[in-house]
Chains A and B, each alone.
Chain A
Amino acid sequence: MSKLKVTTISDPDNDNTALTIDTSGNVSVSQGFVPPTQLSHRNLIINGAMQVAQRGTSFTGLTNGSSEYTLDRFKFIESGNQTSVFTVSQDTNTPDYFGNSLKLTCTTSGSGHNVIEITQSIEAQNLQSLAFGTSNAKSFTLSFWVKCSQSGTGNVSFYNLDALRQRAENYTINVADTWEYKTITVSGDTSGAFNNDNGTGLGVYFPIAASTSYSSGSTGSWGSYSDGKRGAGMTIDLTTSTSDYLQITGVQLEVGSVATPFEHRSYGEELVRCQRYYQEIEASGRQSSCIGYRKNANHIYPTSGQNYHLPVTMRSAPTFLNTGMPVTFTSLLNDNWVSTNYANLGSYTSGHYFGTNSKGAWYDSTVPGDSPFPADTPINITFGEDFKLDAEL
């Protein structure tokens, strides 16, 4: 070990000052600075600090058949016939420098699962900087904070859904009930490219339990998919006791072989990123304006509708998740307010429909025969719920 004490570093040819170091050790850069990786927008994971929870902050009763998104961009996945039950929640117990974590708690112990995971999928076009599928494929590094009720070996698996290539890695939980920082560096895959599109590129999976056949695979290299890699090498099993839990936060996946400090983003920035995949549009209780009528060659229909321009363009045309909502039509007829209630719009396959594209959502109604309103009557529409739009991967 040796120490170099200097106050100035200059280039050898022209003696241009490149760096100066003051008496406190502060470094000033005087010339151009060329980092090996980008200085901002490094984190390919969205909502890695678990700030955004548009769907809610607690998801209970997660068991067989209940794979679903929880905190934004993070999905609970189960495979098999598990009898264990879990809750996923946004928690305020965190390591320093974070405000939230994702907590997965076992509320009923059980068995029967193949694998139980928390996952995030990354859009393929956001992964082009990795140059996978070329001779210049780059390594990436996953870093995260984890706290678990059990010590032992954990697993993270990566699945390239464009090339159907998969890799598993292990990490160690040294001490139970303690926040620990983990980093995993993964070499680039020269064989499996990511499509340059808006589909799923890479899935990142954090299993919390895996059966024998789902934990017997290999780790440390890219290869074809196998069930055994999904929990390869892991020893923790959070289905055994109602005191079992796992918490994660500060999840970052970045190009390069070094884990840099977590790239904190404001809540507003993170929300916008999340809204590309899921949005809720305020509509409940609002009376929309209405709209006259439409006609074709043979009929005139009383028609109403409402258009919503989305604040963030979504990844694809989104699914309208809650078409089963109630809606009330109201109009003033002969100085009397007249209403018609539709208890479940999802039960109609014509006359009412919810339309979407990546930039907007609309409800359209054309209801001959079941409306009391004449063709040219203005109608107010009152929605029973906010619109829930899903363009997740």
Chain B
Amino acid sequence: MNKMNEMNIESAVYTVDIITSENTSITATIDGITMSVPLDPANRHYAEILRQVEAGTLTIEDAE
């Protein structure tokens, strides 16, 4: 675990392509900023989302 680079993730919601119904990215609020996070494990925000999901402290909600 990277103990030197933790983030405060307030929410995470999948964004879907309305045509294909596939998840395209995650709209997340991290450290107070709303951002679009790509589903790339090398992306630091996505990696941290996955880490917190694995730790049971975060759930990625489905798109409405």
Residues of A participating in the B interface, judged by any CB pair closer than 8 Å: 65-68, 77, 79, 117, 119, 121, 159, 161, 197-200, 203, 205, 225, 227, 230, 294, 296, 301, 315-324, 344, 346-351, 353-357, 364, 366, 368, 390-393
| A200-B2, A203-B4 known; A349-B15 Cβ under 8 A | yes
Contact between B43 and A317, CB atoms less than 8 A apart: yes
Residue with the highest number of chain A CB atoms closer than 10 Å, among B17, B36, B40, B64: B36
- Identify 26 residue pairs between A and B in the complex whose beta-carbon atoms are under 8 Å apart, listed by A's number: A65-B8, A65-B31, A68-B31, A79-B4, A199-B42, A203-B4, A205-B4, A301-B18, A315-B42, A317-B42, A318-B43, A319-B35, A319-B36, A319-B43, A321-B33, A323-B27, A344-B34, A346-B27, A348-B15, A348-B27, A350-B18, A353-B24, A354-B25, A354-B36, A356-B38, A390-B44
Residue with the highest number of chain B CB atoms closer than 10 Å, among A159, A301, A320: A320
Contact between B18 and A346, CB atoms less than 8 A apart: no
User: Is B57's CB within 8 Å of the partner chain A?
Assistant: no
Contact between A119 and B4, CB atoms less than 8 A apart: yes
Contact between B24 and A198, CB atoms less than 8 A apart: no
Q: Which residues of B contact A79 (CB under 8 A)?
A: 4
Which one of B4, B25, B40, B43 lies within 8 Å of A353 (CB-CB)?
A: B25
Contact between B40 and A66, CB atoms less than 8 A apart: no
Residue of B nearest to A230 (CB): B4
Please, what's the 1-or-0 string for B2-20, where 1 marks a CB less than 8 Å from any CB in chain A? 1111001000011111110
Which one of A121, A317, A322, A364 lies within 8 Å of B35 (CB-CB)?
A: A322
Q: Which residues of B contact A390 (CB under 8 A)?
A: 35, 44-45
Q: Which residues of A contact B64 (CB under 8 A)?
A: 349-350
Q: How many angstroms from the CA of A356 to the CA of B24 in the assembled complex?
A: 10
Residue of A nearest to B15 (CB): A353
Which one of B18, B45, B46 lies within 8 Å of A366 (CB-CB)?
A: B18
Which one of B5, B8, B19, B34 lies within 8 Å of A323 (CB-CB)?
A: B34
Contact between B14 and A349, CB atoms less than 8 A apart: yes
Nearest-neighbour CB distance to chain B for A199, whole angstroms, equals 7
Q: How many angstroms from the CA of A117 to the CA of B37 in the assembled complex?
A: 26
| A119-B4, A319-B45 known; A349-B36 Cβ under 8 A | no
